[in-house]
Amino acid sequence: MKDDYSGINTLFLHAAGDQDPATGALSTPIYQVSTFHRDADNPSDYEYSRSANPTRDVLEEYIAKVEGGIRGYAFSSGMAAISTILFIFFPGDHILAGKDIYGGSYRILTQVFKQWQLEVDFVDITDIETVKKAVKPNTKAIFFEIVSNPFQKIADLKSILAICREKGLLSIIDNTFLPPYYCRPLELGADIVLHSATKFLNGHSDVVAGVAAAKDPVLAKKIGFMQNAVGAVLGPQDSWLLLRGLKTLGVRMERQEKSAQKIAPWLLEQSWVKKVYYPGLPGHPGKTLLENISTGYGAIITFEVTTSAVKNNLMQKLSLPAVAVSLGAVESILTHPATMSHASMPKAVREELGICDNLFRLSVGLEDPEDLVKDFLTAVES
Ligand SMILES: *Cc1c(COP(=O)(O)O)cnc(C)c1O
């Protein structure tokens, strides 16, 4: 297939190849199979679906293409992607991680990989001097998110990549909040990019999946080895659903962002809202940094309400946004970080990060923004 498209929308639509080479089908066939007959005279690329499955292969090549990597990987969840990649390190290695990374990533580093004697320090990734100073002789990688969760602080990606180059560290970026439609860290020199594909990439609240991509052939091989060894791979049905979701990533992101651009300033004007964190808002401290590396601001708005009465109204009386964990779906989702996305963090750590009980994270979906606004007003005033 041709892959020299200049337009990102064309790429997202056609990166999976246009037709099934065997039948001409416009949709990738689902190879619901675990094992493959071995023909001694005519050996196939496929032996066993943990190692490689034709449907997953199409997805993995797609991910490599849209991220600008040489190889892509599909895992059974975002956490499976993260844990498999952490397994490439050895006991005694030190990882620097962003202070406000996803709660599950914090948990696996502090409670699981600690047993593996992987050392970890959490640093404010938006403070370049602190990051530099935290590098130790046994530091092997910096693991971070460009857009922090839930406060959407923006990391200075280019400066962190420069530190990694200077000190010989791997850069591992969880870019779940900033899909490749907007931002492709591998093209800027990052080593590994990964996503919880459960969120924007799939976008329909019907699959749990993780993807990753790498650029360097030696590193790519290491991750491939670990993917097969650990075995947390994505099944063929879910690979197919994810491929389907990815085809509309562009239109979804554009519409969801457009609505977020209307809702964020509206929230800012409400008397019951104390603070709004959205990188597309004028005055957001990371706006310019983000504009340097991303073509969009995303569709996640974090905001703090003034009282627990307002908090309770939002949690109980909204009819459009689902009150749930997760984000990046076609339907709007309102998350209460203290009891949901960041519940796996100890309360003291959470409070130090400023994740108070009146804080919400809204993932703006495809509803008409006017209806979302009306729904918020009705809930608050009830
Ligand atoms: C959801 C999420 C994960 C974990 O992904 P799962 O698919 O739920 O395992 C990791 N990182 C970020 C930023 C997330 O939002």
Q: Which of 105, 175, 195, 199 to mutate to test ligand 1, by most ligand atoms within 8 A of the CB atom?
A: 199
- Quote the ligand 1 centre to 22 CA distance (angstroms): 35
pLDDT at 236 over 50: yes
Secondary structure (DSSP) of 196-224: ETTTTTT-SSS---EEEEE-SHHHHHHHH
Within 10 A of 117 (CB to CB), how many other CB atoms are there?
A: 11
Cβ contact 367:260 at 8 Å: no
Within 10 A of 165 (CB to CB), how many other CB atoms are there?
A: 11
Within 10 A of 281 (CB to CB), how many other CB atoms are there?
A: 18
Within 10 A of 1 (CB to CB), how many other CB atoms are there?
A: 11
Ranges 60-64, 78-82, 217-221, 344-348: which has the least confidence: 344-348
**pLDDT tens by residue, 176-198:** 999 999 999 999 999 999 999 99
**pLDDT tens by residue, 169-178:** 999 999 999 9
Secondary structure (DSSP) of 100-124: T--HHHHHIIIIITTTTT-EEEEE-
DSSP state of 147: B
Domains of the chain, earliest start first: 8-246 (3.40.640.10), 251-381 (3.90.1150.10)
DSSP H helices, the chain, are 8-14, 54-67, 78-86, 103-107, 128-134, 157-167, 217-230, 236-247, 249-268, 287-293, 308-317, 347-352, 369-381
Using pLDDT thresholds of 50, 70 and 90, give the confidence band for residue 6: confident
Helices then strands, counting H and E runs in the chain, come out as: 13, 12
Residue 180: closest CA among 64, 70, 300: 64
Q: Which of 73, 79, 100 to mutate to test ligand 1, by most ligand atoms within 8 A of the CB atom?
A: 79
Length of the chain: 382
Ligand 1 site residues, Cβ closer than 6 angstroms: 77-79, 102, 104-105, 145, 149, 174, 176, 196, 198-199, 208, 210
d(CA 262, CA 284): 15
Among residues of the chain, what percentage have pLDDT more than 70? 99
Q: Considering the entire predicted model, what is its pTM?
A: 0.95
d(CA 111, CA 105): 10
Both tokens of 301, joined, read 């708005």
d(CA 176, CA 201): 8
d(CA 366, CA 256): 6
d(CA 275, CA 293): 25
Quote the pLDDT of residue 22. Answer: 87
Using pLDDT thresholds of 50, 70 and 90, give the confidence band for residue 299: very high
Average pLDDT over the chain, rounded to whole? Answer: 95
Quote the pLDDT of residue 2. Answer: 47
DSSP state of 186: G
Report CA-CA distances (Å) from 276 to 103, 246, 266: 21, 29, 10
Ligand 1, atom nearest to 101 Cα = 13
